[in-house]
Chain A
Amino acid sequence: MYERIFAMVEKELRQLLRDRRSLGIAILLPVIVMFLYGYAYGGGTQHIAIAIGNLDNINELSVKLEELILQNNLFEVKKYVYSVDEAMRAIENGDVYGVIVIPNGFYEALTNDGVGYVAVITDGSIPTLSEAIQSGMKNVLENYGKMLLKGNYLKVEQLRIVRYGATLKNIDFFAPAVIGLVLQTIPVSLIAISIVREKERGTFEQLVVSPIKTYEVIFGKFLAYATVSILDFFLIFSIGKLFFGIMIRGSFLEIFLASLLFLIGNLGLGLMISSISNSQLQAQQASSFIFIISAVFSGLLMPVQALPKAATIIAYFLPLYHFNEALRPMMLKGLGLGDLVGEVMVLMFYPLITVSISIIMFKKRLD
Chain B
Amino acid sequence: MDNIVEAVNLTKKFGDFIAVNNLNLQVVRGEILGLLGPNGAGKTTTVRMVACLLKPTSGKILVDGYDAVKEPEKVKQKIGYMPQRFSLYEDLTVVENFEFYGKIYGLSSMERERKARELLEFVELSRFGNRLAGKLSGGMKQRLLLACALLHEPELLILDEPTAGVDPPLRRRFWEYFRELNKKGVTLLITTHYMDEAENCTRIGIMNNGNLIKSGSSIELKRSIYGGDVIELQVKTSISRVETILSGNQDVLRIIPSGDAFLIVVKDSEKSLPAVVEALRKENVDVLSIRVVNFSLEDVFIKSTEVDSNV
- Please tell me if the beta carbons of A209 and B53 are within 8 angstroms of each other in the complex: yes
Give Cα A207 to B83, complex, Å.
12
**Known A-B contacts A18-B91, A203-B89, A205-B83; A210 and B53 likewise in contact (beta carbons under 8 Å):** no
- Please tell me if the beta carbons of A15 and B76 are within 8 angstroms of each other in the complex: no
Could you say which residues of chain A place their CB within 8 Å of the CB of B100?
7, 10-11
Residue from A205, A211, A367 within 8 A of B104 (CB atoms): A211
Could you say which residues of chain B place their CB within 8 Å of the CB of A14?
92, 96
Give Cα A112 to B165, complex, Å.
98
Give Cα A116 to B96, complex, Å.
71
Residue interface bits A91-132, CB-to-B below 8 A is 1, else 0: 000000000000000000000000000000000000000000
Could you say which residues of chain A place their CB within 8 Å of the CB of B55?
367
**Known A-B contacts A14-B92, A209-B53, A211-B76; A203 and B87 likewise in contact (beta carbons under 8 Å):** yes
Chain B interface mostly: loop
Chain B residue nearest in CB terms to A366: B55
Give Cα A327 to B46, complex, Å.
55
Interface set, chain B 30-72, CB cutoff 8 A to A: 51-53, 55
Interface set, chain B 222-253, CB cutoff 8 A to A: none
Give Cα A88 to B219, complex, Å.
103
Asked whether any CB of chain B lies closer than 8 Å to the CB of A67, the reply is no
Asked whether any CB of chain B lies closer than 8 Å to the CB of A206, the reply is yes
Interface set, chain B 157-182, CB cutoff 8 A to A: none
**Known A-B contacts A205-B53, A208-B53; A11 and B105 likewise in contact (beta carbons under 8 Å):** no
Chain A residue nearest in CB terms to B89: A203
Most B C-beta atoms less than 10 A away, residue of A15, A205, A208, A209: A209
**Known A-B contacts A208-B53, A209-B52; A4 and B104 likewise in contact (beta carbons under 8 Å):** yes
Give Cα A205 to B85, complex, Å.
9
Could you say which residues of chain B place their CB within 8 Å of the CB of A15?
89, 91-92
Residue from A4, A201, A202, A209 within 8 A of B103 (CB atoms): A4
Asked whether any CB of chain B lies closer than 8 Å to the CB of A159, the reply is no
- Please tell me if the beta carbons of B105 and A210 are within 8 angstroms of each other in the complex: yes
Give Cα A233 to B87, complex, Å.
34
Give Cα A203 to B77, complex, Å.
18
Give Cα A208 to B73, complex, Å.
10
Residue interface bits B103-126, CB-to-A below 8 A is 1, else 0: 111100000000000000000000
Chain A residue nearest in CB terms to B96: A14
- Please tell me if the beta carbons of A205 and B87 are within 8 angstroms of each other in the complex: yes
Give Cα A213 to B81, complex, Å.
16
- Please tell me if the beta carbons of B92 and A206 are within 8 angstroms of each other in the complex: no
Asked whether any CB of chain B lies closer than 8 Å to the CB of A60, the reply is no
**Known A-B contacts A3-B103, A202-B85; A209 and B76 likewise in contact (beta carbons under 8 Å):** yes
Could you say which residues of chain A place their CB within 8 Å of the CB of B53?
205, 208-209
Give Cα A352 to B105, complex, Å.
31
**Known A-B contacts A11-B92, A211-B76; A202 and B104 likewise in contact (beta carbons under 8 Å):** no
Could you say which residues of chain A place their CB within 8 Å of the CB of B96?
11, 14
Asked whether any CB of chain A lies closer than 8 Å to the CB of B79, the reply is yes
Asked whether any CB of chain A lies closer than 8 Å to the CB of B136, the reply is no
Could you say which residues of chain B place their CB within 8 Å of the CB of A211?
73, 76-77, 104-106
Residue from A3, A204, A205, A207 within 8 A of B106 (CB atoms): A3
Asked whether any CB of chain B lies closer than 8 Å to the CB of A340, the reply is no
**Interface size class for chain A?**
20 to 34
Give Cα A11 to B102, complex, Å.
12
**Known A-B contacts A7-B100, A202-B85; A19 and B91 likewise in contact (beta carbons under 8 Å):** yes
Asked whether any CB of chain B lies closer than 8 Å to the CB of A311, the reply is no
Interface set, chain A 1-30, CB cutoff 8 A to B: 3-4, 6-7, 10-11, 14-15, 18-19
Q: Tell me the minimal C-beta distance from B115 to chain A in angstroms.
A: 14
Give Cα A10 to B92, complex, Å.
11
Q: Tell me the minimal C-beta distance from A68 to chain B in angstroms.
A: 59
- Please tell me if the beta carbons of A209 and B81 are within 8 angstroms of each other in the complex: yes
Most A C-beta atoms less than 10 A away, residue of B79, B83, B104: B104
Most A C-beta atoms less than 10 A away, residue of B53, B86, B87: B87
Give Cα A197 to B51, complex, Å.
22
Q: Tell me the minimal C-beta distance from B161 to chain A in angstroms.
A: 13
Could you say which residues of chain B place their CB within 8 Å of the CB of A202?
83, 85-87
Asked whether any CB of chain A lies closer than 8 Å to the CB of B194, the reply is no
Chain B residue nearest in CB terms to A203: B87
Asked whether any CB of chain B lies closer than 8 Å to the CB of A341, the reply is no
Could you say which residues of chain A place their CB within 8 Å of the CB of B91?
15, 18-19
Chain B residue nearest in CB terms to A17: B91
Residue interface bits A337-367, CB-to-B below 8 A is 1, else 0: 0000000000000000000000000000001
Could you say which residues of chain A place their CB within 8 Å of the CB of B106?
3-4, 211
Give Cα A18 to B96, complex, Å.
13
Asked whether any CB of chain A lies closer than 8 Å to the CB of B101, the reply is yes
**Known A-B contacts A14-B96, A15-B92; A206 and B148 likewise in contact (beta carbons under 8 Å):** yes
Give Cα A14 to B87, complex, Å.
17
Asked whether any CB of chain B lies closer than 8 Å to the CB of A302, the reply is no
Could you say which residues of chain B place their CB within 8 Å of the CB of A201?
87, 90
Could you say which residues of chain A place their CB within 8 Å of the CB of B81?
206, 209
Asked whether any CB of chain A lies closer than 8 Å to the CB of B280, the reply is no
Chain A residue nearest in CB terms to B55: A367
Give Cα A208 to B106, complex, Å.
15
Q: Tell me the minimal C-beta distance from B170 to chain A in angstroms.
A: 21
Q: Tell me the minimal C-beta distance from A57 to chain B in angstroms.
A: 74
Could you say which residues of chain B place their CB within 8 Å of the CB of A205?
53, 83, 85, 87
Asked whether any CB of chain A lies closer than 8 Å to the CB of B88, the reply is yes
Interface pairs (9), CB distance under 8 Å? A3-B106, A6-B103, A18-B91, A19-B91, A201-B90, A202-B83, A205-B53, A205-B85, A206-B88
Interface positions of B (Cβ within 8 A of A): 51-53, 55, 73, 76-77, 79, 81, 83, 85-92, 96, 100-101, 103-106, 148
- The 6 residue pairs across chains A and B that have the minimum distance between CB atoms: A7-B103, A206-B87, A202-B85, A209-B81, A202-B87, A18-B91
Task: Give me 16 other A-B pairs in contact (C-beta within 8 A), A4-B106, A15-B91, A206-B81 excluded.
Answer: A7-B104, A11-B100, A14-B96, A15-B89, A18-B92, A19-B91, A201-B87, A202-B87, A204-B87, A206-B87, A208-B52, A208-B53, A209-B53, A211-B73, A211-B106, A367-B55
